[in-house]
Structure 1
Amino acid sequence: MNQLAKLALEMGPLILFFAVNATTNLMTATAVFVVATVVSLITSFLVARTIPVMPLIGGVFVIVFGGLTLYLDNDLFIKIKPTIVNLLFAAILFGGLMAGKLFLKLVLESAFKATDEGWRILTWRWSIFFIVLAVINEIVWRNFSTDTWVAFKVWGIMPMTMVFGMAQVPILMKHQLPEEEGGSPAA
C-alpha cells in the first residue's frame, strides 16, 4: 500500500470526526469516528493483508472509549482517550527502558536502523513527549469548549507530533547504522 493510502486510512477517521463535529455535535462525530475507524482497519487489512500495530492500538482505543461515550452518553470518555493513550505509551516505553528493552526499536526498526544508544535517546524523548501531550490534552478539554478541544485534537496534536518527529531526525542521523552491503563477502 502506498504512503498516501496509508495516511488516508490513518487520518481519514480523525478528519471525519472533526468535520462531523463542526456540522453536528460530539456524539454524532464520535459515532462516525468509531465506524470510520472500524472501516479503516478492515480496509487496511483487506488491502495490505495486515494492520500496522499503531493504527490497531489506536483503533481499539477509539472503539472502546468512543463506545463508552456513546453507550453512557458522556463525552468524558472520548475526551480522556488521548490522555490515557499517551500515558500508556509513555508507561510502556519507560517500562521497557527499566527492563532493558527498547520497544521503540521493535516498532520502528524496519524503517530506521540505529544504534541502541540512538534508540535509547529516542525512547526517552518520545516517552516525555507522550506525557506532555497527555498534560496538554487535559488542559485543553478541561478549560476550553468541546469544539476547541476537537479542533486541537485534529489540528494541534497531529502537527505537534509531526514537528516533534522531524526534530528527532538529527538523532537518527547521528546514531544511524551503516547500510549493509548486498551479498556476502568473498572468501
Structure 2
Amino acid sequence: MAEKKINPTLKMILEFGPVVLFFVGYLKLKDEIFLIGGEEYNGFIVITAAFIPLMVASTLALWKLTGHLSRMQFATLVLVVLFGGMSVWFNDDRFIKMKPTMLYLLFGGLLGIGLLRGQSWLKVVMEEVMPLEQEGWMILTRRLCAFFFALAVANELIWRFQSEEAWVYFKTFGLPIAMFGFFMFQGPLFQKYGPDEDEENTGPAE
C-alpha cells in the first residue's frame, strides 16, 4: 500500500519528538534518584520507562496517518521495547545503551547477507525514492553495510568507555548527524550512477 502524505512538520515531530523529549528529560532528571516499589531508580531508567510508551504511541500514530512503516522504523520500535523494557525490568541501563548496536548490526548483517548472494537488498526498499543503476546500488550497499558496522562499534566504545552523558549526546545528535553526513558524501556516486537527465528529457528521434 502506498504511503499517505501527511504534514511534513507533523511527520518530523512523530519521528524525532520522542528522542528529543528523552534528551530533555535526561538533562532534567539525570542526577535524580526515585524510590519506586521499595527500589531505587536513577533518572536515566525513569526516562527510559517513559520513553518506551512514547515511542510506541508516536510510531503507531505515524503508521495510522501514513499507512506505512519502514523496516528500520519497525525494527527500531521492537528493539526499543525489548532493550528498554529489560533496562527498566532489571534496573540496568546497559540494555538500552546496547540497542543502537543491535540495530546497526541487524541492518549491516542483512545488507551483508544480500551482498554475499550478489544482491543489493538496499535497492529493494529504496529504489522508488532513489533510482540508481545496478552497479551504483551494489557500491552504495557495500558502503552502507560497512558504515552500519562502524556505527555499531562506535556505540559500543562510547557507552562502555565514556560517561553516560556523553552517550546520550552521541545517541541524540551524533548518530543522526553521522547518518546525514554519510548520505551527503555519496553525492558523486548518485551523480555517476543516477538516471541520465539528458536521456530522460530527450524525445523520440524524428
* Post-superposition CA distance 1:17-56 (Å, at most 9, x none): 1111111121122112211210111111221122232211
**One of 125, 129, 134 as aligned partner of 1:111:** 129
Deviation at 1:103, TM superposition (A): 1.0
* Contact residue 84 and residue 95 of structure 2 kept, 8 A: yes
**Alignment correspondent of 2:192:** 174
* Post-superposition CA distance 1:57-81 (Å, at most 9, x none): 1111111111111111111110111
Deviation at 1:181, TM superposition (A): 6.0
Unaligned runs of 5+ in 2: 1-5, 30-42
Residue 99 (1) aligns with residue 104 (2): no
**Alignment correspondent of 2:14:** 9
SS in 2 for 1:73: coil
TM-score, normalised on structure 2? 0.83
SS in 2 for 1:139: helix
* Contact residue 16 and residue 32 of structure 1 kept, 8 A: no
Residue 138 (1) aligns with residue 156 (2): yes
| Higher percent of residues as helix | 1
Distance in 2 between residues matched to 1:89 and 1:112, nearest whole Å: 18
Residue 21 (1) aligns with residue 39 (2): no
RMSD: 2.0
Unaligned runs of 5+ in 1: none
Rg (Cα) greater in structure: 2
**Alignment correspondent of 2:84:** 66
Q: Which moved more, 1:81-90 or 1:50-59?
A: 50-59
TM-score, normalised on structure 1? 0.91
* Post-superposition CA distance 1:146-179 (Å, at most 9, x none): 1111111111111111111111122122101346
Aligned pairs, number: 185
**Partner amino acid, structure 2, of 1:92:** L
Q: Which moved more, 1:45-54 or 1:63-72?
A: 45-54
**Alignment correspondent of 1:88:** 106
